[in-house]
Amino acid sequence: MVTQERNGVVTLTGKPAVLLGPDIAEGSVAPPFRVVDEGFNVVSLDSFAGSPLLISSVPSLDTSVCALQTKRFNAEIGKLKGLSAITVSTDLPFAQKRFCAAEKISGIRVLSDCVWREFGMNYGLLLKGMGLLARAVIVIGRDGRVSYCEIVGEISQHPDYDAALRAAGAARA
């Protein structure tokens, strides 16, 4: 199987980066994925079936923008009842657990794509040659379709939080 490579979508500190996997379009059926939680238990897209889902994809929680992105969505998620939210990175679950404890992250689940890289590949967010995920926000509606997708063009920049939260709010309807 040939892996699709996408150029010209993102940069990392101004340098072009290559994304592996398909482009995910709004309106498309959300691809399945498996990631792991802090205990290496499998969590899949099916775990959120019937509930709208906000996915915050970050390269590493050990960077300031990723930490701020996770903390921002954690703070906002409580205002959006009936919405599930996850942050996905390729950080090891042990590191994610330490981060969540230190930052008091409890509203958003923090999950790892370190085992299969299935989320990154299926959502076209895996950075070639780095093993990290691109910064993105994806909202999946109750119907299992992608209703919002922002891949941040410069990975070191923040996503459009307001647009993502509006989309997440609309997905609850």
Q: Which residues are catalytic?
A: 66
- Residue given tokens 């070191």 in the structure block: 156
Specify whether the CB–CB gap between 57 and 164 falls below 8 A. Answer: no
For strands 84-89 and 53-57, give the pairing.
parallel
Q: What share of the chain is helix, strand, coil (3-state, %, to 5)?
A: 25, 30, 45
Tokens for 104? 């008091």
